[in-house]
Structure 1
Amino acid sequence: MQVTELLAEGLKREYRVVLPAAELDAKATARLTEMKDKVRINGFRPGKVPVAHLKRMYGKSVLAEVIDQAVNEANTKIIDDNGFKLAMQPKVELPQDEAVVNEVIEGKADLSYTVGIEVLPAIELGDFKSISLDKPVLAVTDAEIDETVNRISEANRPYAAKEGAADKGDRVTVSFVGSIDGEKFEGGSGEDIPVVLGSNSFIPGFEEQLIGIAEGETRTVNVTFPENYQAVELAGKAAAFEVTATKIEAPGEMALDDEFAKSLGMDDMAALREQVKSRIAQEHNAQSRAKVKRRLLDALDGLHQFDVPPTLAQQEFEGIWNSVTSEMDNQKRSFADEGTTEEEARADYDKIAKRRVRLGLVLAEIGEKNNIQVTDDEVTRAVVERARQFPGQEQQVWEFYRKNAQALASLRAPIFEEKVVDFLLELATVNEVPVTREELYAEDEADKA
């Protein structure tokens, strides 16, 4: 085997490899010799088929297999001899000229091909103990607990039939048909839909126009969909709804006592409040974790600056760009609407893509150097948790992940990342900083960007 380096530029390498015809023929002959004792051919006793006869019958197909194996072995040797860590699978370019290919297959010419390799950069890890981070913390207040318990009570408030017109706070059951410019639109109709007047659960202006409606009465309700409405084809459009009230109900009294807590499956009011407090604390801790993790990743990015494999960066960019442009198309927005140009946006997202790849490589290097691993039990728990999100389809979800290695890897990756983050937070200096709820849940400028 003869190997010639054609390119050594950044993280890209390219080699020309020549595999002698005699070497390939010798391997093919060895393979055919192995076959001699296994094949059964009319006219020959078992094990007595001449190799020359086998070569006439199977020579080309065996040589093709030998060539495939030899190319893989040659590429592996190049990688091992140079100590490369691959960013992508080697890109092999075999001869395309039919005459050349036939000569190689017939064993009359050496096989000459090129192989392109993209390698991972050597990463020198920074001093993680030098990292200092502010971690926002927020204690759960009685006011938060009271607000949540009140929301729970409102969701469980009893209603009783009422005579007369509907007032704010009443529950009105309605059927409606919506239209835009006189044309009905998809999703604009509903039957027996309960609406609590004043709950702001419908389009702005819808509930207010139902105040005073009586059972059996039909009204035309005119509203305008918000500009940020989730159904982008309706966003910002004026619509008219023909609404008929089929039932009017007044809210009953709701006592926040032990009996109310028991109706929700709790022992008493104290237990309900404790559960609410625990749930709010989990939300605060998750938000705090997200912010301190973002700051940790920023610190890691500052400590590690190196060129990333171009193909990995391009793949990451394409994923981001396709997502961004698809969302903009759905919302019928342009780059001008976003206050930028396509060229500027591409440059910004290219930086984001390279940052993501760089941080991914850094986290992987940290995990490898410190033997951070994800156990099979941890992955199994993740699959079980995922299956629970699809009631009635647990077995199908389980089978999907059991048979799909790529899907299983998508569960393993975030577990690994969180374990590396935990490892780094143990080494870094983390300062707990009390904040308000507004500060904790405020969107960081970096997140907006």
Structure 2
Amino acid sequence: MQVKETRNEGLKRGYQFTLPAADLAATVDAKLKEAQPEVEMKGFRKGKVPMAMLKKQFGQRIMGDAMQDAIDGALRKHLEESGDRPALQPKVEMENGETWKEGDDVVVNVSYEALPPIPEIDLSELSLEKLTVPAEEAAVTEALENLAKSAQSFEDRRKGSKAKDGDQVVIDFKGFVDGEAFEGGEAEDYPLVLGSNSFIPGFEDQLVGAKADDEIKVEVNFPEEYGAPHLAGKAATFECKVKAVKAPKAAEIDDELAKKFGAEDLDGLKKQISDRLEQEYAGAARQVMKRSLLDQLDEKVKFDLPDALVEAEASQIAHQLWHEENPEVHDHNHGNIEPTDEHKKLAERRVRLGLLLAEIGQKAEVTVTDQEMTQAVLRAARQYPGQERQFFEFIQQNQGAQQQLRAPIFEDKVIDHIAAQAKVEEKTVTKEELEKAVEKLDEL
């Protein structure tokens, strides 16, 4: 195999591989000779089929395999010798493919963008702040009050009291569309919390001010996107009988409330809340520190980037942001979305940092364990209740999906490795100060 360099500009590489016809023919003959002892053909004993007949019967297929093996081997050898790591799968084109005939040399053009050399960085020069927020008593109290509200009960208001927003009304109702009762539009002793938005828009508003024993006609329109197509967009009338008006009563903040939420007593519940809050604060503080770390790396390290990787990342960013701005579109039948300069700038940052973190992680021998992958798969499977088995099978059979789960785990472990080498100063801040720091993360 003869190899000639045709391009070497920045990260772009081009090579022409020439496989002499004589070498190809020799390879085909060798493969046919190797297979001859096992070949059976009508009219010939096993292993006695003439080479001419073997070549006529199997020559084209074996020649194709031989060409592919030769090209793959030459490319593999070239990459080993050059040390190049292609950013994407190399492009391989046969130059004389349309005119090639047996007896001609095979000429193949190979092109790719090489991954750039990643410069060394002294991680000890990085300076990071690790923010710590203690769970303040006010935050614990607020969480307790919210739990008490979620465990609230309802007590009858005084006779003749008008229902307020947040009250519970117990009603019988029957719904009509075009004067006809419809299936599923009727219930008795239904406890409806006003302001819960659990009924059709406008329904609950018309019961505010109602009293026990009132009979009220509620006029509403089913939403255009309503789940039942025969009711979507239709005007409806509900005949309602108010049987009781009840006021909300928050649960007492005591040991009994604690037991409802799995704690032994109130002190135990407070400890659970405090631990959960501090865990949430620690997660937010980690994101702040991670952004600072990535910003410093991005500032310190510059190197050429493969255009193909940047373009692919910019397209993905543009596509993702377009869907966030158009949440009603769930498919991809929306035409081409052209990345902006802002998308390309963000893509360059992501590609640069991705390559840098990969290099640091590889040198530090950072790996993702089977146990970590299993936990990631289990977490992801919870998003598909009832379809867990299909999800597991999909992950097992899809290398790309596995990589999507592995990548963030690997990145977090590399971040931890870098932070362990950097100068880290612990700083205690308030919840409000942490919230402001988190808000700044959206500025990029």
Secondary structure of the residue aligned to 2:13 is strand
Please tell me whether the aligned partners of residues 167 and 194 of structure 2 are also in contact (alpha carbons under 8 angstroms): yes
1:370-449 aligned at under 5 Å gives the runs 370-442=364-436, 443-449=438-444
Shift in alpha-carbon separation, 1:418–1:245, aligned structure 2, 3 A? farther
1:147-158 aligned at under 5 Å gives the runs 147-158=142-153
**One-letter amino acid matched to 1:428:** A
Residue aligning to 1:325: 322
1:49-448 aligned at under 5 Å gives the runs 49-95=49-95, 98=98, 100-101=99-100, 103=101, 106=102, 108-162=103-157, 164=160, 165-172=162-169, 196-197=193-194, 210-214=207-211, 216-219=215-218, 248-252=245-249, 254-330=251-327, 346-442=340-436, 443-448=438-443
Secondary structure of the residue aligned to 1:143 is helix
**One-letter amino acid matched to 1:266:** A
Secondary structure of the residue aligned to 1:5 is strand
Secondary structure of the residue aligned to 1:122 is coil
Offset of residue 325 of structure 1: 2.4
Offset of residue 314 of structure 1: 0.8
Segment of structure 1 superposing worse, 155-164 or 110-119: 155-164
Give the alignment's TM-score, normalised by structure 1.
0.82
Secondary structure of the residue aligned to 1:37 is helix
Please tell me whether the aligned partners of residues 214 and 245 of structure 1 are also in contact (alpha carbons under 8 angstroms): no
Provide structure 2 residue ranges, at least 5 long, that are not aligned to the other structure: 176-184, 227-234, 330-336
Distance between the aligned counterparts of 1:289 and 1:256, measured in 2?
A: 33
Offset of residue 68 of structure 1: 1.1
**One-letter amino acid matched to 1:46:** K
Offset of residue 196 of structure 1: 4.2
Secondary structure of the residue aligned to 2:275 is helix
Distance between the aligned counterparts of 2:186 and 2:300, measured in 1?
A: 56
Distance between the aligned counterparts of 2:135 and 2:197, measured in 1?
A: 26
Offset of residue 290 of structure 1: 0.8
Shift in alpha-carbon separation, 1:286–1:194, aligned structure 2, 3 A? farther
Tell me the number of residue pairs that the alignment of Structure 1 and Structure 2 aligns: 410
Shift in alpha-carbon separation, 1:250–1:276, aligned structure 2, 3 A? same
Distance between the aligned counterparts of 1:362 and 1:203, measured in 2?
A: 53
Offset of residue 195 of structure 1: 5.8
Q: What do you get for the CA RMSD once the two structures are aligned?
A: 3.3
Offset of residue 435 of structure 1: 2.5
Provide structure 1 residue ranges, at least 5 long, that are not aligned to the other structure: 178-188, 226-230, 232-239, 333-341
* Per-residue deviation, residues 264-311 of structure 1 (Å, max 9, x unmatched): 332111111111111111111110011111111111111211111111
Offset of residue 5 of structure 1: 1.0
Offset of residue 167 of structure 1: 2.3
Shift in alpha-carbon separation, 1:92–1:151, aligned structure 2, 3 A? same
Offset of residue 386 of structure 1: 2.9
Segment of structure 1 superposing worse, 383-392 or 301-310: 383-392
Offset of residue 85 of structure 1: 1.4
Shift in alpha-carbon separation, 1:408–1:125, aligned structure 2, 3 A? same
Residue aligning to 1:185: none
Shift in alpha-carbon separation, 1:97–1:29, aligned structure 2, 3 A? closer
Distance between the aligned counterparts of 1:171 and 1:296, measured in 2?
A: 51
Offset of residue 83 of structure 1: 1.0
Shift in alpha-carbon separation, 1:160–1:446, aligned structure 2, 3 A? closer
Secondary structure of the residue aligned to 2:38 is coil
Residue aligning to 1:15: 15
Segment of structure 1 superposing worse, 56-65 or 197-206: 197-206
Q: How many percent of aligned residue pairs carry the same amino acid?
A: 40
Please tell me whether the aligned partners of residues 213 and 245 of structure 1 are also in contact (alpha carbons under 8 angstroms): no
**One-letter amino acid matched to 1:407:** A
Shift in alpha-carbon separation, 1:382–1:77, aligned structure 2, 3 A? same
Secondary structure of the residue aligned to 1:373 is coil
**One-letter amino acid matched to 1:427:** Q
**One-letter amino acid matched to 2:311:** Q
Secondary structure of the residue aligned to 2:3 is strand
Distance between the aligned counterparts of 1:256 and 1:49, measured in 2?
A: 92
Secondary structure of the residue aligned to 1:217 is strand
Shift in alpha-carbon separation, 1:322–1:8, aligned structure 2, 3 A? same
Offset of residue 324 of structure 1: 1.9
